[in-house]
Every structure is written in C-alpha cells, then in structure tokens.
Amino acid sequence: MSAPRTAGRTPPTRTLPPPDAPAAPVRKTGRREPAGRPRRSRRGHRWFTPWLYLIAPLAFLVTFTCVPVFSLLSYSLTDWDGLSPTSAYVGLENYTELFTRPQLFRVFWVSLFYLAGSAVQIGLALYFATVLSFNTRLRNLFKGILFFPYLINGVAIGFVFLYFFQPGGTLDTVLHWVGAGPHLWLGDPDLVNTSLAGVSVWRFMGLNMVLFIGAIQSIPAELYEAAALDGASRWQQFRHIIAPSIRPVVSLSVILAVSGALSVFEIPYVMTGGANNSQTFVIQTIKLAFNFNKTGLASAAAVVLLVFVLLITWLQRVLFPDERVEQS
C-alpha cells in the first residue's frame, strides 16, 4: 500500500483576534459564543411571575378594605335604616346634620382622657423598655408580666375590671387599708373616664414596651461601650443614644395612640355602655346605626372619624418628619 499523500498540502491557519478585542461570552455548556451576538433573556417571558404571588394579598385587600370603604361612602349619602331593601339618596344631608348638631361632637372630649392616658402609657413603656434592655435580674419574667395584658381579650378585661371598680371591690378594699374611703369609680361622671383610661393604659402598655425594646436592642453595642468608657451615666446614654435612635418607633406609637384615643370602643362599651358621660364617638356611631336605625348617618360619622384619623396622621408626619439616624 502506498502512503497517504501529504506532501504539498498547507495546514489550515487560525486567525487570532487582536489583543484589545472583547472576549466571547461563555455559555453554561462551555462553548464560546461569537462576540457581538446578543444573549436571549428568558426573564422576559416571566414578567407576570411576581403578580402570581400578589393575587391573594390584592384579593384580600380589595375584598376587606376597598369594597367596605366604598360601601361606607355610598351608605353615607343615603337615608337608609339598615333593614329595608331600598334607600333614598340624600346627598350631603347626613354630613350637614353631623356638623350642625354639636352634641354629636361633644363625645370627642371623652377622647382627651384616653389621649392623656396614652401619653402616660408611652412614658411608662419607654421607661420599662429602657430598664429591661440592660442587664436586669429576671428581666424576661418582667417582660412577660408587662406584655401579658395585651394578649387578653378586651371583653374579658372589661368584665374583670367591672369587679375591680365596683363599690366595695378590689380597689376600694386596697384603698381602705390606707384610710381612703370608697368611690363610685364607674358611677361618678368625674371619675369614670379616668378609670376607663387607666384600664386602657394597663392593657396597651406592654405592646409599646415590646416595640421600644426591639428598637433599643437594634442599637449597636459598641455605642454603649464607648459611652461607658467616656463616663456617661444611664440617663446620658438614654438621652444621647437611645432616644435619637428609636425616634421612628416613638413616632409610630404616637400615631397609634392618637388613632386609638379617637376610636376607643370595647372597654367603655363593656364596662359602662357609654353611661355617665363615658360615651365615645364609636359607641355613639354604633347606637345611631343599631338603636336608632340611622345607618346612613352612622356611616357619615364613620367617614368623618376616618378623615380625622388620616388628617392627624398627616399633620404628625408633616410637623415631626422621620429623620434618618446614622449610628456610628
């Protein structure tokens, strides 16, 4: 056999790219694509994927928030008794009646007692949160004790404090030991709102305390160590480190306190039913709807309360804007 003929053939030559040419992109298969060819993105075919996860939350939001709000607005423009299948459109007459009857807005004075109680509540919660954030003996036990009232149902709390404030009850027995006489805590118009506001302070202080503790524990420990080396006392650490750092959480607590003071319902409703000048705006709205069958007027009152809460929240944000705290 003759050998293969290779003489006279020129081997193929490979042209090298210039040194400054961009490298060709590499696929996952290891093969190199020619430079300049755009890579096809598969993300463009899945733009709707995030919306699949948002379907359920948006459905709940529309069903339980948007639809009730629009229904409330539509009811506030009618003269509906809440039972008949038809209702008469009256326009803004319900709002006119609300603002031309001062007795419907006198109940807002009761909210001032709860607003004052909220200030006491935030102050106590801030104090206990600061103390329990440092090395204190049995601090977890005290955290649980102070937070426990918030876990109890509001109706149950109302019935418990009915026995606490009744004549000759627990409070009068304790005061008798120090020589103080009995009082009509829920029957005296001068004491009833103070007593109810005290119950509200006892119940909601634990929630604010937990919020403050979480904010305080997020502060870097190096700041406390540097302050201790500089000889700063606990009060100076609170004033210059803790207070500026938890300002957004305090602002949130103030918003919750104001909205809660305007919409107090379950504790005074269970304990007094709104008697002895303890009627709040929400209790009055409930009575308009179910006792006097004025659902249209009650809906207008609910819309006014919603606007008040939103307006106060907006004013609080404008007057006391959140400042970004740089922890260094």
- In tens, the pLDDT along 245-268 reads 898 899 889 888 888 888 899 899
What spatial distance separates the first Cα and last Cα of the chain, rounded to whole Å? 87
The segments of the chain whose pLDDT lies below 70 read 1-45, 322-328
Residue 163: count other Cβ atoms within 10 Å of its Cβ: 10
Q: Which residues of 116-151 are buried (b: 16+ CB within 10 A; e: fewer)?
A: ebbeebbebbbebbbebbeeeeeeeeebeebeebbe
Q: Do 260 and 148 contact (CB within 8 A), yes or no?
A: no
Encoded tokens for 5: 């003929």
Distances, alpha carbon 214 to alpha carbons 132, 134, 160, 219, 258, in Å: 11, 13, 30, 9, 22
CA distance 24 to 232: 61
The vertex-111 CA angle with 113 and 250, nearest 5°, equals 80
Q: Phi, psi at residue 258, to the nearest 5°?
A: -65, -45
Q: What is the pTM of this model?
A: 0.76
Nearest Cα neighbor of 323 from 250, 273, 259 is 250
- In tens, the pLDDT along 107-137 reads 888 989 999 999 999 999 999 999 998 877 8
Pairing type for strands 88-89 and 78-79 reads antiparallel
Compute CA 204 distance to the chain's CA centroid, rounded to the nearest angstrom. Answer: 13
